[in-house]
Amino acid sequence: MTGRETHKTKAFVLHCLNYGEADLIVTFYSSDFGKLKGIAKGAKNSKKRFANVFEPFSLTSIIFTRKSRDMLAFIDSCEIIDHYDAIRHDLEKTLIASYFIDLVDHFSPEGKKNEKIFELLNNFLTLLGQEKTSDAAVRFFEMRLLRLAGFEPTLDHCITCKTPVANGTAYYFYAQEGGIKCAGCAKPERYDQSISAGTVRTLLLGKDMDIDKIKLINLSNSLAAESRNILIGFITHVLSREVKSLKVLEQVRKLCL
Ligand SMILES: [Zn+2]
């Protein structure tokens, strides 16, 4: 008797770290156990058991054993369900998928199951593989992940006077307070950028929109810039740091896309 339980689950590879000469420490986001860390013994030598399966954002089926929830899992086998080749053949798509994976990693404590986050990743990677890239898809992913992780910003009304969002009113976003204020309640500094009601409404719409409709949404330049500023400002505030993969994505876009 080893005292270990064996489990099988579907899991996305979040990232992978070399450990010693032959082993890998792999972090997954699984449907049944949430974020999960495991060691793949001899993974670098055993092409048979682990044939290039540990690439970021691959969807896999893993079998693992562990003594208890807070112990590192032993990955016994790992098979690819979807390698997302259509994403990997496209630089921008690969960078976006890496960003999705990074966000899920940052917003997920280890061992906390959240099937909806797993489903979100599954749906958006499928969308990314099939459709053209769009700012809307990236922003709507952020909105949905924030909600599922319990950090949804208040965008449907002013957080001070509670008046619902109305056309023609300018708004300001306050990351520390987690929501928008109308022009009447906000005391904007000179450098604060106002946000249109249209931007706020688009983000609210994107939160629940059917996944098949997202490809139809094309954000204007001002809408794309405003929604980016709100969400990235907020995410950076909640995480107390910048998300590196987003920086890379934006730099590469500027240089060569
Ligand atoms: Zn107000």
Domain count, the chain: 2
Q: What percent of the chain has pLDDT over 90?
A: 85
Contact between residue 50 and residue 125 where contact means Cβ atoms under 8 Å apart = no
Instruction: For residues 126 and 248, state if they share a domain.
Output: yes
- 257 pLDDT band, cuts 50/70/90, is low
Distance 62 CA to ligand 1 centre (A): 50
User: Residues 135-151: pLDDT tens digits?
Assistant: 999 999 999 999 999 99
- Report pTM: 0.94
- The CA 167 to ligand 1 mean position distance, Å, reads 14
Centroid of ligand 1 to alpha carbon of 157 (angstroms)? 8
> What residues sit around ligand 1, an ion, with C-beta below 5 angstroms?
158, 160-161, 182, 185
Q: 118 pLDDT exceeds 60?
A: yes
pLDDT at 4: 84
Read off the pLDDT of each residue in 146-166 and give the average, rounded to a whole number. 97
* Residue 191 CA, ligand 1 centroid: distance in Å: 20
More confident: 87 or 46:
87
51, 83, 115 - which closes a domain: 83
Mean pLDDT, range 81-108, rounded to an integer = 97
DSSP 113-165: --HHHHHHHHHHHHHHHHS---HHHHHHHHHHHHHHTT---B-SB-TTT-PBP
Domain that holds residue 18: 5-83
Q: Separation of 251 CA from ligand 1 center, angstroms?
A: 36
- Cα(180) to ligand 1 centroid in Å equals 8
Whether 118 and 225 map to the same domain: the answer is yes
Of 206, 204, 73, which Cα lies nearest the Cα of 135?
A: 206
* Chosen domain end from 83, 102, 123: 83
Average pLDDT, the chain: 93
> Are 163 and 185 in contact, with CB atoms under 8 Å apart?
no
221 C-alpha to center of ligand 1: Å? 26
For residue 106, give the H/E element and its range: helix 91-107
Domain containing residue 58: CATH number: 2.40.50.140
Domain end among 83, 111, 133:
83
